[in-house]
Amino acid sequence: MMTRVDVFEDIFLVFLGLGTLVGIIVITYTLYNAYKYRDTGDAKADEDLPTLGELPTGGTGGKKLFLSFFLSAIIVISLVLWTYGMLLYVEEGPDGNPGDDALEVDVEGFAFGWNFYYEDGVESSGEMVVPAGETVWIETSATDVWHAFGVSELRVKADAIPGETDETWFVAEEEGEYLIECFELCGAGHSGMEGTLNVTSEAEYEQWHEDQRTLTLTFTDAFDEDDEYVGDLEAFEGTLEHADEDDPVETFSDADVEEGVFQLTVEQGDTYEVVIESPDGDFETVELEVDIVDGPEEDVVFEDPDDDEENDEDDEDDNEDETDDGGDD
């Protein structure tokens, strides 16, 4: 299987070699003739020299002109025909247009960064994680103005136009971090509009996905003011619900909480609602709406049932906004 890097290097090298060769030959030939036919003051008396006021006629020597022209035309046309085959390969993709198992990522450019959306609902901002050695199909668009997504090292690029979706693919053979840049002027922050492509092993990739689809709940009830774990968590029953479904996706209780922290992984990243109730009414029911798309962390605060005023616990969140319903407003 040829990666885009392979395709590019092959073609570029040939063009570079041929182009340099042709350039050197033609320019040398030009300069050589300029020197060879420099005016030395000998005028041949019978020569038909150009005179002021004559009507223009073409000089002779057309045959040589046509020979050179056809030669150069053949070179140029053959080169391009050859690349056409490669173009078809690149358009088709290394293993046919995305099969069902293909890894697909939606790339969204905005001023001035990149968001990535995976099929399992995971979202990432600024960093795209993919496994090494696997074909990644990306569909690129933009939310505001025309951007262009590109990873120079992997020879992949796609215009990101609002309202349009540009499809392309790439394969990263080696693990590591690659630079994503924007290749279309998009405003004052265009320069430095960067992102990271993180190429990992298959196992790390799967793990990352799982982490993104994992919600971490920290029960503040089990910690003291110095954030030391003290245990003593109240009993509760919790459910994780999805907007579209009647049955809860998951149920859990205080028994599942380890050292004050409970983690919950879903199959499909999306917006969920966490409901935590006290069976004895010891605290107000906690309702949290969470986007489980990028490994969110939430604090669960148990409020006394009569406490209406205290609601200034802000949740520590990473980088998305959800409504905090840690009490009653």
Query: Interface residues for other proteins in 55-84 (CB under 8 A)?
Result: 55-62, 64-66, 68-69, 72-73, 76-77, 79-80, 83-84
Query: Nearest Cα to 160, choosing from 198, 135, 190, 123?
Result: 190
Instruction: Using CB under 8 A, pick the residue from 1, 17, 33, 319 that binds other proteins.
Output: 33
- The reply on whether position 117 binds other proteins by CB under 8 A is no
- The reply on whether position 259 binds other proteins by CB under 8 A is no
Separation in Å, CA 275 to CA 197, 246, 290: 36, 14, 11
Query: Nearest Cα to 286, choosing from 220, 198, 227, 231?
Result: 220
Instruction: Using CB under 8 A, pick the residue from 125, 132, 134, 146 that binds other proteins.
Output: 146
- The reply on whether position 194 binds other proteins by CB under 8 A is yes
Which CB atom, from 64 or from 100, has the smaller least distance to other proteins? 64
- The reply on whether position 319 binds other proteins by CB under 8 A is no
For the CB of residue 128, give the shortest distance to other proteins in the complex, in Å: 18
Size of the site for other proteins (CB under 8 A): 85
Asked whether the beta carbons of 320 and 289 are under 8 A apart, the reply is: no
Which CB atom, from 76 or from 230, has the smaller least distance to other proteins? 76
Helix axes 4-36, 62-92, angle to 10 degrees: 170
Separation in Å, CA 129 to CA 11, 137, 201, 203: 29, 13, 10, 12
Instruction: Using CB under 8 A, pick the residue from 2, 162, 261, 317 that binds other proteins.
Output: 162
- The reply on whether position 158 binds other proteins by CB under 8 A is yes
Q: SS3 for 10?
A: helix
What is the separation of C-alpha 184 from the centre of its chain, rounded to a whole number of angstroms? 15
- How far apart CA 134 and CA 103 sit, in angstroms, is 8
- The reply on whether position 23 binds other proteins by CB under 8 A is yes
The structure tokens 């025909």 sit at 81
Asked whether the beta carbons of 193 and 182 are under 8 A apart, the reply is: yes
- The reply on whether position 12 binds other proteins by CB under 8 A is yes
Which CB atom, from 57 or from 101, has the smaller least distance to other proteins? 57
Instruction: Using CB under 8 A, pick the residue from 126, 173, 174, 185 that binds other proteins.
Output: 185
Which CB atom, from 149 or from 223, has the smaller least distance to other proteins? 149
- The reply on whether position 98 binds other proteins by CB under 8 A is no
CA angle 216, 329, 314 (to 5 degrees): 35
- The reply on whether position 243 binds other proteins by CB under 8 A is no
